[in-house]
A = this chain, B = another copy of it.
Amino acid sequence: MAFKVGLLGLGTVGSGTAEILLNPAQRHPLLQELEIHRVGVRSLAKPRAVELPAETLTTDVESIVADPEIDIVVEVMGGLEPARSLMLKAIANGKHVVTANKAAIARFGDEIFTAANEAGVYVLLEAAVAGGIPVIEPLKQSLCANRIHSITGIVNGTTNYILSRMQTEGSNFETVLADAQQLGYAEADPTADVDGLDAADKIAILASLAFGGRIKLAEVYCEGIRPVSATDIAYAEKLGFVIKLLATAKREISAGGESGPADQLQVRVHPTLVPKVHPLASVNGVYNAILIEGDPVGQVMFFGPGAGAGPTASAVVSDILNIAAILKVGRGGILQANGKPLLDPLLAYSHQHYCAIAPIEELVTRFYARVLTQDNPGVIGKLGTCFGNHNVSLESVVQIGLQDDRAEIVVITHYVQERNFRQALEEIGSFESLTVPSVLRVL
């Protein structure tokens, strides 16, 4: 008995997926029971990296999700539509779905998982977060006994590559971005990566899994790396930090107590000063890493290639095999009330409620601020007083350099509430001959 796979898309990830399915030697023997039945493409004429029988290819993608012979639909076309509609149709037709589409899942996950639960089919998405690094399945299965406290990840390879090069070369953002675009590490339109949107999609998916609730993507706070300057990277380095774009999801009691319920989540993406001794500090280039803290496991970290045809296809095909393994032993005998098979509670997303996300103003964190000023002897006192008036306690204030005849002061705070810090900054911004070109958070 062979399990029939319908592929939607034969781009980079689709070709990588087909490549593995066509070369099962020395891999898990179950792979030999999989068959690529149909592949949906935009153009039949385009030359392809993988050799498939001509009759397998079709431009009629609708026919794939409707094909009664197909067991598993693999969506690797990307984009929001028609990916969303095709996944929903496949589910309605009783097909299991494997997808690498973080954007569609982060936006339409609610709809897709509700439909999948009703239909009694699985939707697996290991490839949607951190490419080939196993993190979705470990969160669902290997760590499922834990009470997760936090997930902190470098989940976007493009921005990590840019920041790593800015760090080693001392170059500024625009120069490295242009070069990364030429080398194929950044897209022609780099918005989704450099503005943190891709990382926001991924942390929304991880948070949903880790904390057992749905996440509204619009509530994920998101800052990209455009404002990070070579100057900040150099100062951070002197102070013992590297700057990384971190995606964080955390269950935490709000500061002050009165400002929110204890079980709110923080879910956010922003450039962050990471102490050099921290395990995430040494993750460089296009690599990704995800640090998970839970009770009782403590800290575990997953590291590896966050993108690329091979790593992503590794995750896609592993998901296909996981579904094939379930089909192989026969679906369980227990049915839902609607007559459809009951889903494995660790593999399915059964939660219906939305997690409460704390507004960023309630975040309690440390801040780094770079202040430019006319070299006025009273300015440090003035800054200190202003922060103090707003309940912002300072860890260090260092006059660190000169730029265009103006003194540059770097302030690092203790843990303070973002709202208080912002109010202090607003007041400082009104001071004459004083500007604050950079504000970053510190891990």
**A27 CB contact (under 8 Å) in B146, B308, B315, B326:** B146
Interface assignment of A389: CB less than 8 Å from any CB of chain B: no
Enumerate chain B residues within 8 angstroms of A30, measured Cβ to Cβ: 144, 345-346
For the complex, what is the distance from the CA of A328 to the CA of B279, rounded to whole Å?
A: 38
Enumerate chain B residues within 8 angstroms of A303, measured Cβ to Cβ: 279, 300-303
**A297 CB contact (under 8 Å) in B141, B294, B314:** B314
Interface assignment of A332: CB less than 8 Å from any CB of chain B: yes
- Tell me whether A297 and B325 are in contact in the complex, defined as CB-CB below 8 angstroms, given that A138-B137, A144-B318 are known contacts: no
Docked-complex contact B346 and A300, CB < 8 angstroms: no
Q: Which residue of B lies closest to A304 (CB)?
A: B300
Interface assignment of A20: CB less than 8 Å from any CB of chain B: yes
Enumerate chain B residues within 8 angstroms of A382, measured Cβ to Cβ: none
Interface assignment of A333: CB less than 8 Å from any CB of chain B: yes
Interface assignment of A299: CB less than 8 Å from any CB of chain B: yes
For the complex, what is the distance from the CA of A102 to the CA of B331, rounded to whole Å?
A: 32
Q: Nearest Cβ in chain B — how far from A130, in angstroms?
A: 10
Enumerate chain B residues within 8 angstroms of A325, measured Cβ to Cβ: 344-347
Q: Which of A144, A322, A344 counts the most chain B CB atoms within 10 A?
A: A144
- Tell me whether A322 and B141 are in contact in the complex, defined as CB-CB below 8 angstroms, given that A29-B345, A297-B305 are known contacts: yes
- Tell me whether A314 and B137 are in contact in the complex, defined as CB-CB below 8 angstroms, given that A328-B342, A329-B332 are known contacts: no
Enumerate chain B residues within 8 angstroms of A19, measured Cβ to Cβ: 296
Contact with B along A396-412 (1 / 0, CB 8 A): 00000000000000000
Apart from the given pairs A142-B315, A145-B318, A298-B304, 17 other A-B contacts in the complex at a CB distance below 8 Å: A28-B144, A28-B345, A133-B300, A134-B143, A134-B300, A137-B142, A138-B138, A141-B318, A144-B321, A282-B282, A296-B309, A298-B305, A302-B303, A328-B332, A328-B334, A329-B342, A330-B342
Interface residues of A (CB under 8 A from B): 16, 19-20, 25-31, 126, 132-134, 136-138, 141-147, 212, 279, 282, 294-305, 308-311, 313-318, 320-322, 325-326, 328-334, 341-347
Q: List 16 A-B contacts (CB under 8 A).
A: A26-B147, A30-B144, A134-B142, A141-B318, A145-B314, A297-B311, A297-B315, A298-B304, A299-B305, A300-B302, A300-B304, A301-B303, A329-B342, A329-B343, A332-B332, A333-B333
